[in-house]
Amino acid sequence: MGGRDRWTTADLPDQTGRVAVITGSNTGIGYHTAAELAEHGARVVLAVRDLEKGDAAAQQIRETSPQAAVEVQHLDLSSLASVREAAEALGAAHPRIDLLINNAGVMYTPKQHTADGFELQFGTNHLGHFALTGLLLPRMLRVRQSRVVTVSSMAHRIMAAIHFDDLQWEHGYNRIAAYGQSKLANLMFTYELQRRLAAKRRSTIAVAAHPGTANTELTRHLPPFLRPADRLLTPLVVQSAAMGALPTLRAATDPEVTGGQYYGPGGIGEQRGYPKLVEASKQAHDVELQQRLWSVSEELTGVTFPV
C-alpha cells in the first residue's frame, strides 16, 4: 500500500457494486479515472460528447481489463437539453448512482457560446455540471456514502473572480480569466453543495480535486503567446494524465475523505506529485458568494436541488 503521503492506485479500495458516472472520460484524466475504477470493480459510465471516441475508450478499457463493466452515454455539457436527456437516460438505466465525477471541461477557448447562450467555459465547466448534478442527485441520495467529485484547477486562483455583473463576458472577453472564473465556480459549487447536504444530514458528500499540471488535451486552446513557455516547461513540470487522475481517484474512493475537502498533487506548487489535501483560495470559501452563485445557477439552468 502506498500510505497516506504516497497514495496510489494500489490504495484504491474495491469498487464492486458501485456505479460511477464520469463526464469527459474518453481521454486524459477522465479516461484514467474511468479505467482505474473499472479495473477495481465499478460499473463505469463514460458520459461523453463524442460517442465514437467514447466507444473507442470503452473498448480500450475492456481490452486492458476484460472483466470491466463499462458503458457509454451521450452528454454535451454545453447544451442543457442534452444534459436533461442524459440525466433521464442515466436515471432510467441506473436506479442508484454511487459516484458522479464532474471531470469534463474546456480551457482558454476563444469567445464562444453554448447552445443556451452562456459563455462557453462558464456554461460547460460550471453550469452544465451544476445542472447534471442536480438532476442526478435524487439517484445518489438513496445510496449511503455516495459522492459528487468536481474537478477544479489551480487556475481558480489566477485572474479569478465571479463576475456577477457580466457572467457571460458580453463586455469584453479574457479567455484566461473566464477559465479561472469557471474553475472558481466549481469549488464554490462543491462547498455550497456540501453545506446543503450536511444540513439535511445526508451521507452523500461533495468533494473537489485538481490534477496539477497534467499532460492532457485541455491545452489545445492555449493563447499563442503562452505556447513557447508551455513547450519549455512541459518536460520540467507536467506530469502524466495517469498521475493527474490520482487526486480525483482519491477524492472519489478514499474512505477517510470527508465532505468539503479538496485534493491535489503534493509536490511544489501543487503542480505534480501524489495526492494530498490542499487549500482553495480564500475567495472560494466566501459563503455569501457561494450562495449567490448557487441562486444565479439555479436561475440560469432552471434546475433546483432536493437539498
Give pLDDT tens digits for 64-81. Answer: 999 999 999 999 999 999
Domain-located, residue 116: yes
Domain-located, residue 1: no
Q: CA dihedral defined by 34, 96, 115, 163, rounded to 10 degrees?
A: -80
Domain-located, residue 228: yes
Strand partners, 19: 43
Could you list the residue range(s) of the whole structural domain that residue 269 is in? Answer: 9-301
Task: Give the CATH number for residue 291.
Answer: 3.40.50.720
Give pLDDT tens digits for 201-238. Answer: 999 999 999 999 987 654 554 555 454 544 444 455 69
Q: Cα–Cα distance between 284 and 189 in angstroms, integer?
A: 9
Which pLDDT value is given to residue 217?
56
From 31, 179, 191, 262, the catalytic residue:
179
Which pLDDT value is given to residue 232?
46
Domain-located, residue 224: yes
Domain-located, residue 3: no
pTM (2 d.p.): 0.92
Is 179 tagged catalytic? yes
C-alpha cell at 240: 502524466
What is the percentage of the chain residues whose pLDDT exceeds 70?
92
Q: Cα–Cα distance between 141 and 193 in angstroms, integer?
A: 13
Average per-residue pLDDT in the chain?
93
Query: In sequence order, which ranges of the chain are alpha helices (DSSP H)?
Result: 28-39, 51-64, 80-93, 120-121, 129-141, 175-199, 227-237, 241-244, 246-253, 287-301
Which pLDDT value is given to residue 51?
98
What total number of domains does the chain contain? 1
Give pLDDT tens digits for 263-276. Answer: 999 999 999 999 99
Give pLDDT tens digits for 277-288. Answer: 999 999 999 999
Domain-located, residue 51: yes
Burial environment of residue 16 by CB neighbours within 10 A (0 to 12, 13 to 18, 19 or more): exposed
Domain-located, residue 100: yes
Q: Given pLDDT bands bounded at 50, 70 and 90, which one contains residue 256?
A: very high
Domain-located, residue 306: no
CB 49 within 8 A of CB 77: yes
Q: Is the dihedral of CA 18, 19, 22, 28 positive or negative?
A: positive
Give pLDDT tens digits for 128-150. Answer: 999 999 999 999 999 999 999 99
